[in-house]
Amino acid sequence: MKPRNSLLMAGTIAAGIEATAKADSQTVDTLMLQLKSADESISGAAWQNAGPCGAKAVPGLGALIAEEDSEAARNAKRALMNVVRHAGRPGAERETKAVQKELVQLLKSKQAAVRKEAVWRLSEIGDAKAVTGMAALLNDKEAREDARCAILRMPREAALNAFRRAFKTAPDDFKYALADSLRALGEQIEGWPSPKLKPTRKTTIEAIKPA
């Protein structure tokens, strides 16, 4: 009887997994539809409660951010933020890694808006391993400044290594910013002064006339 019981148990588990997967899919599909709703009471509730949808919702949210509908894209960004924050709660390491994995995939999106959103969300939830994918955007003219600022929030050694590698091959117009980031992390860089230190307008100093 044991083999039969084992088969029955295996079938029950498989059915449960299939039902869960189906329910998850329906939940994500519903979320996407609600985020597109013109009714703010529906779309608002959707992004505010998107957190528990987890990693499975990330690809769809990325696709929605890329859409031309600005309201839907904004709702998707808010939803993604809540997914990240929910996954980053204490004791949810497994969820954290799953969401990080999906965000790294979004870094490869053809849409700059999606890449920028992903790199910022990774700065909230990602570990040192995520920096490799984030650093790839330092060569991306559309998203490199977002990537640079986001990487500054990551573990120091991983960020330093990313900036060092990028600085070697970066175009001159971006080396100033990378040098500034390296200095912020304690690296000594000669030349390439911060653009913030360059005057934006001509100034003159008048001599004080004797009384």
The DSSP annotation for 69-122 comes to -HHHHHHHHHHHHHHHHHHTSTT-HHHHHHHHHHHHHHTT-SSHHHHHHHHHHH
Mean pLDDT, rounded, for 190-211: 68
Q: How far apart are the first and last CA of the chain?
A: 112
Domain boundaries, the chain: 16-126, 128-187
State yes or no: pLDDT of 4 exceeds 60. no
Mean pLDDT, rounded, for 161-174: 95
Q: Which two tokens stand for residue 130?
A: 């995520």
What's the confidence (pLDDT) of residue 50?
A: 95
* pLDDT 10s digits, 38-81: 999 999 999 999 999 999 999 999 999 998 889 999 999 999 99
Instruction: Specify the fold of 16-126.
Output: Leucine-rich Repeat Variant (1.25.10)
The DSSP annotation for 157-195 comes to HHHHHHHHHHHHH--HHHHHHHHHHHHHTT----S---G
